[in-house]
Structure 1
Amino acid sequence: MAGNGGCGLLQTCCHLHDPRNYIIEGDFEIDHSPWLSLCASGLSVAVQIYSQHNLDPSTGKVRESENAYIMEGKVSERKIKTVMGMGVPTKVIKFKLKFEVARDFGIPGAFAVENKDKHKFFLKSARLRYINNPGILDYDYFRFYCGSWIYPISKTRIKRIFFSNQLCLPKKTPKGLEELRRKELEELRGGSKDERKPWDRTYEYDYYNDLGDPDNGRQHARPVLGGSTQFPYPRRLRTGRPPCHDDHLAESRPASCSQIYVPPDERLSHKKQEELKNNFVYALVRFLAQESTRPPLSNQECPDFVVKIAQLFSIEDSKFILSMVDFFRRNPKLQPNQDSSNYDLFGIEDLFADKDVKGLEDSVKHKLRKMVPVEIFDKVVATAAAKKQSISSQPPSIITENRWAWSEDGEFGRQMLAGTNPVRIRRIMDDDPKLQGGELGEVIEKARSEKKQLFILEHHDYLQPFLKMINGNGVCAYATRTILKSGSMLEPIAIELSLPDDSDSIRVFSPDDYLSWELAKIHVACNDTAYHQLISHWLLDPHFKDTLHVNALARAFFLNAGGILETTLFTGEYSMPLSSHLYKQWRFDEQALPADLLKRGMATPKEVEEIKKMPAEPESEKTDDVVESVERDENLTDENVVELDNIPVTETREQQPTFDAGVKLVLEDYPYAKDGLEIWVAIETWVKDYCNLFYEGDCDVKEDTEIQQWWSEIRRVGHGDQDQGWYDINNVENLVKALTTLIWITSGLHAALNFGQYGYYGWPPNRPMLLRKFVPREGTPEMEELDDHPEKFVAQMMPEKFQMAFVIAVMDVISRHTSDEVYLGQPSPEKVWETDEIKKKFGEFGEKLKQIEKNIKKRNKEYGLLNRWGDAKIPYMLLYPDASNTIAARSKEEGKPEKMDINERGIPNSISI
Structure 2
Amino acid sequence: MAAAFQMSAVVYGGRRFSPRMAPAAKSVMTRSQLSYFSGVGHRRSSPVTQDGHFVKLFAEAFKVLSSASTVELLGYATFQKQEQEGIQAITLQLISTKADSATRLEVLSDIATVDWHLHDSSPSASDIKCPVKFLIRKDFGEPGAILVNSGYGTPMLLKSLVLEMPNKTTIGFLCDTWISNGQQRVFFANKAYLPLDTPSGLMKLRTRELASIRGNGSGVRVNGERIYDYDVYNDLGNPDYSPDLLRPVLGGSSTYPYPRRCRTGRMPSNTDNTFESSASSEKELYLPAGEAPAFATQCGAADNAVQSLYQLIPEIHKAYASRPFFDNVGELRSLFTEGFNLKPEESRTTDNNCCLKFPLPQVLGAHPDAWMLDSEFARQTIAGLNPITIECLKVFPPHRLDPSETSSLNAAHIESQLGSLSVSEALEASRLFVLDYHDAFMPYLEKINAQEGVRSYASRTIFFLTDAGTLTPVAIELSLPSPGEAINRVFVPGETSGERDWLWELAKVHASTNDAAYHQAISHWLRTHAVLEPFIIATHRQLSDLHPVKGLLLPHLKSTISINSEARRLLICAGGIIERAFFTGKYTLEISSLFYKSSWRFDEQGLPADLLKRGMAVRDPTAKHGLKLRIEDYPYAVDGLEIWSSIQTWVDDYVNIFYMYDVSVCADTELQNWWREITEVGHADKKEGWQDLSTKSALKEVLTTVIWLASAHHAAVNFGQFAYAGFTPNRPTITHRFIPEAGSEEHQELLQDPEKFFCSTLANRLETITLLCAIELLSSHLPGQEFLGEQPSSKWTSDQRVMAAFESFSQRLEAAEDDIELRNEEPSLENRRGPAEVPFTLLCPSSGLGLTGRGVPNSVSI
TM-score by length of 1: 0.77
1:350 to 331, 334, 339: 334
Per the alignment, do residues 78 and 534 of structure 1 end up closer, same or farther by CA in structure 2, a change over 3 Å counting?
Answer: same
* Aligned match of 1:141: 170
Letter in 1 for 2:564: N
* 1:578-727 correspondence to structure 2 within 5 Å: 578-584=591-597, 585-607=599-621, 660-727=624-691
Answer yes or no: is 1:111 the counterpart of 2:151: no
Letter in 2 for 1:171: L
| Cα deviation 1:632-677 (Å, max 9, x = unaligned) | xxxxxxxxxxxxxxxxxxxxxxxxxx9x422110100110011001
* Aligned match of 2:3: none
* Aligned match of 1:185: 210
2:397–2:409 Cα contact (<8 Å) kept = no
C-alpha distance in 2 between matches for 1:685 and 1:848: 9
* 1:94-105 correspondence to structure 2 within 5 Å: 94-105=129-140
1:460 to 435, 438, 449: 438
* Aligned match of 2:53: none
C-alpha distance in 1 between matches for 2:480 and 2:121: 71
C-alpha distance in 2 between matches for 1:390 and 1:463: 37
C-alpha distance in 2 between matches for 1:282 and 1:224: 29
C-alpha distance in 1 between matches for 2:711 and 2:271: 41
1:449 to 404, 422, 431: 422
| Cα deviation 1:788-808 (Å, max 9, x = unaligned) | 221221122112112112211
By how many angstroms is 1:683 displaced? 0.4
2:180 to 128, 147, 151: 151
Per the alignment, do residues 80 and 493 of structure 1 end up closer, same or farther by CA in structure 2, a change over 3 Å counting?
Answer: closer
C-alpha distance in 1 between matches for 2:165 and 2:69: 14
1:510 to 476, 492, 508: 492
2:383–2:831 Cα contact (<8 Å) kept = yes
2:383–2:636 Cα contact (<8 Å) kept = yes
2:374 to 371, 387, 409: 409
Per the alignment, do residues 287 and 275 of structure 1 end up closer, same or farther by CA in structure 2, a change over 3 Å counting?
Answer: same
C-alpha distance in 1 between matches for 2:641 and 2:775: 27
1:537–1:754 Cα contact (<8 Å) kept = yes
Per the alignment, do residues 33 and 49 of structure 1 end up closer, same or farther by CA in structure 2, a change over 3 Å counting?
Answer: farther
| Cα deviation 1:539-595 (Å, max 9, x = unaligned) | 313161111011000111111111111111111111111111111110001111001
* Aligned match of 1:559: 572
2:382–2:634 Cα contact (<8 Å) kept = yes
* Aligned match of 1:499: 480
By how many angstroms is 1:484 displaced? 0.8
* Aligned match of 1:754: 718
Answer yes or no: is 1:227 the counterpart of 2:252: yes
By how many angstroms is 1:739 displaced? 0.5
2:230–2:262 Cα contact (<8 Å) kept = yes
Letter in 1 for 2:443: P
| Cα deviation 1:83-126 (Å, max 9, x = unaligned) | xxxxxxxx844333332222221100011011234332211111
* Aligned match of 1:535: 522
By how many angstroms is 1:283 displaced? 8.6
Answer yes or no: is 1:253 the counterpart of 2:278: yes
C-alpha distance in 1 between matches for 2:838 and 2:134: 60
C-alpha distance in 2 between matches for 1:795 and 1:562: 24
Answer yes or no: is 1:50 the counterpart of 2:14: no
2:297 to 254, 259, 271: 271
1:661–1:680 Cα contact (<8 Å) kept = no
Letter in 1 for 2:105: K
- Judge which range, 868-877 or 55-64, deviates more: 55-64
2:455–2:737 Cα contact (<8 Å) kept = yes
Identity of aligned residues (%): 37
1:603–1:665 Cα contact (<8 Å) kept = yes
C-alpha distance in 2 between matches for 1:117 and 1:748: 39
By how many angstroms is 1:507 displaced? 1.1
- Flag structure 2 segments of 5+ consecutive residues without an equivalent: 1-23, 28-62, 496-500, 534-556
C-alpha distance in 2 between matches for 1:197 and 1:443: 64
Q: Which SS does the other structure have where 2:240 is aligned?
A: helix
Letter in 1 for 2:76: D
Per the alignment, do residues 814 and 284 of structure 1 end up closer, same or farther by CA in structure 2, a change over 3 Å counting?
Answer: farther
C-alpha distance in 2 between matches for 1:482 and 1:249: 41
1:34–1:119 Cα contact (<8 Å) kept = no
Letter in 2 for 1:479: A
By how many angstroms is 1:361 displaced? 5.5
1:572 to 569, 581, 585: 585
Q: Which SS does the other structure have where 1:181 is aligned?
A: helix
- Judge which range, 408-417 or 499-508, deviates more: 499-508
C-alpha distance in 1 between matches for 2:671 and 2:714: 25
* Aligned match of 2:43: none
2:68–2:137 Cα contact (<8 Å) kept = no
C-alpha distance in 1 between matches for 2:795 and 2:711: 19
1:322 to 328, 336, 358: 328
* 1:253-402 correspondence to structure 2 within 5 Å: 253-269=278-294, 270-277=296-303, 320-323=326-329, 347-354=331-338, 393-402=358-367
Per the alignment, do residues 358 and 462 of structure 1 end up closer, same or farther by CA in structure 2, a change over 3 Å counting?
Answer: closer
C-alpha distance in 2 between matches for 1:75 and 1:434: 68
C-alpha distance in 2 between matches for 1:18 and 1:799: 79
2:191–2:796 Cα contact (<8 Å) kept = no
By how many angstroms is 1:416 displaced? 0.4
Per the alignment, do residues 486 and 130 of structure 1 end up closer, same or farther by CA in structure 2, a change over 3 Å counting?
Answer: closer
Answer yes or no: is 1:121 the counterpart of 2:146: no
Per the alignment, do residues 363 and 477 of structure 1 end up closer, same or farther by CA in structure 2, a change over 3 Å counting?
Answer: farther
Per the alignment, do residues 316 and 815 of structure 1 end up closer, same or farther by CA in structure 2, a change over 3 Å counting?
Answer: farther
Letter in 2 for 1:911: V
C-alpha distance in 2 between matches for 1:599 and 1:432: 19
Per the alignment, do residues 187 and 512 of structure 1 end up closer, same or farther by CA in structure 2, a change over 3 Å counting?
Answer: same
1:755–1:816 Cα contact (<8 Å) kept = yes
C-alpha distance in 2 between matches for 1:839 and 1:113: 28
By how many angstroms is 1:273 displaced? 2.2
Letter in 2 for 1:714: I
1:856 to 816, 820, 826: 820
C-alpha distance in 1 between matches for 2:388 and 2:379: 12
Q: Which SS does the other structure have where 2:225 is aligned?
A: coil
2:115–2:130 Cα contact (<8 Å) kept = no
Aligned length: 747
- Judge which range, 820-829 or 207-216, deviates more: 820-829
TM-score by length of 2: 0.82
By how many angstroms is 1:856 displaced? 1.3
C-alpha distance in 2 between matches for 1:693 and 1:220: 52
Per the alignment, do residues 440 and 363 of structure 1 end up closer, same or farther by CA in structure 2, a change over 3 Å counting?
Answer: farther
By how many angstroms is 1:18 displaced? 4.6
Per the alignment, do residues 118 and 485 of structure 1 end up closer, same or farther by CA in structure 2, a change over 3 Å counting?
Answer: same
* Aligned match of 1:21: 70
1:411–1:872 Cα contact (<8 Å) kept = yes
C-alpha distance in 1 between matches for 2:70 and 2:489: 88
Per the alignment, do residues 162 and 605 of structure 1 end up closer, same or farther by CA in structure 2, a change over 3 Å counting?
Answer: same
| Cα deviation 1:192-223 (Å, max 9, x = unaligned) | 61100011101111000001111122211111
| Cα deviation 1:328-353 (Å, max 9, x = unaligned) | xxxxxxxxxxxxxxxx5xx1122111
* Aligned match of 2:17: none
Q: Which SS does the other structure have where 2:202 is aligned?
A: helix
- Flag structure 1 segments of 5+ consecutive residues without an equivalent: 1-11, 82-90, 132-136, 295-312, 324-343, 365-385, 610-657, 890-897
Letter in 2 for 1:590: E
